Amino acid sequence: MSDEKRQILDWLSPLASRERHHTVSEGRVEGVGDWLLHTNEFEKWRTSEGGAVNPVLFCYGDPGVGKTYMSSLVIDTICDRIGGDNVVVACVYCDFHAQNEQSATTVLGALLKQVVAGMEPIPSEIKSAFERAKKQVDGRTLRLPEIRAMLVKSLSYLRRGFICIDALDEFPQKNRPELWDSLRHIIQECPNTRLFITGRPHIRDEVGKYFSGSATVIPIKPRTEDIVRYLEMRLDRDLDADIMDESLRADILRVIPVTISEIFLLVSLIMDAILEQTTLHLRKQTFLKMTNGLGLDDAYRTTLHRIQQQNGSKAKLGMGALMWISRSERPLKTEELCHALAVETGTTDLNLENIPSVRTLLGCTLGLVSIDPQSSKVRLIHFTLQEYLGTHANLFITPHAMMAEICLTYL
């Protein structure tokens, strides 16, 4: 790719959708979610051309059921099965951590960036707009009507186009009408384009409002066989297999799919809690405790209690990391977070020996934090954890004042 083309693509949108997709795809378990691909609704939506079927497929589900992983599965499946040239799949993963970066303009820009990335040459109107922008102070970005028109025109060059937007409920609510209007306009103007959306149940009304009569709706809910596949994967990859016996393994595979089948995220947290124990006895105790009618809030509360009960400075480091991630105005990179956690108020210099390693940081947060290897950004494992931390103000004492003091000390 030439330097000029790379500059144009970066100019269209700051969102790194493909990097996020790669990270999500890496975490998928083979076979989990395949049931969606075998539905008549999905197959008709994927293979039909023109206006024969509804161009919009909306999959909704409660928090933690695995919607984002299903999105990545759909994207990869379309990419694997598209036949011939002149077909493009463009995606955006909405993220509550990055709400300040997300607008209708940046989302459509990210889609346009992916659509034209494979075109040679880049459409002349986009290149001309870039050249004009370079001559202005700080380089003017495209406005929403301009970028929408360019996206429609670029999609019209294609035999088929697929747009996939995950977690639209995490997109800023104040900006959603503009995005819905734009997506509806694109679908109306581009009969060769299909739109896949996921979100929580409450945005189903919005989908009906903007795509009345043109959207197929499928509820997302973990299947028992998906839960079993995931559990088998976790057990097979257990690094401490010597403290797992056949009896406990059988109980895990028998009980969890039956008693905790509604929320994939909850299953993951329970397995984290079981497998981190150091003896078979403790694993059995944890299994009994964590499968006794536990809900997602209960799992978060239990995990946070375990973080707070860690020895030495691990508890402070784990809770400090959660405070910074949940209260920051934008996503933090690993280096930023580790430096913030290393600052000692009242000192004049940063002690480099006090900077925690990424491995230590992840260990102290007991699975509640993940790192995007593509962007090095630190994330909470799920939007529901952000909501939980936001509604339990007593977990952090004057967090913003503390963060401000640390920032001033660092400066």
- pLDDT given for residue 59 in this prediction: 97
Q: Which two tokens stand for residue 194?
A: 């299909």
Contacts 24+ apart (CB under 8 A), 84-87: 84/159, 85/159, 86/157, 86/158, 86/159, 86/160, 87/158, 87/159, 87/160, 87/161, 87/162
List pLDDT tens digits, range 17-39. Answer: 888 899 999 989 999 999 999 99
Quick one: pLDDT at residue 381? 84
Return the pLDDT at 137.
60
State the Cα–Cα distance between residues 12 and 379, nearest whole angstrom.
Answer: 25
- Evaluate whether 210 touches 181 at the Cβ level (below 8 Å): yes
Between the alpha carbon of residue 268 and those of residues 65, 107, 167, 322, 382, the distances in Å are 11, 30, 20, 19, 12
- 320-335: average pLDDT: 93
The model's pTM is 0.81
Q: What per-residue confidence (pLDDT) applies to 148?
A: 96
Averaged pLDDT, 167-190: 95
Q: What is the pLDDT of residue 52?
A: 66
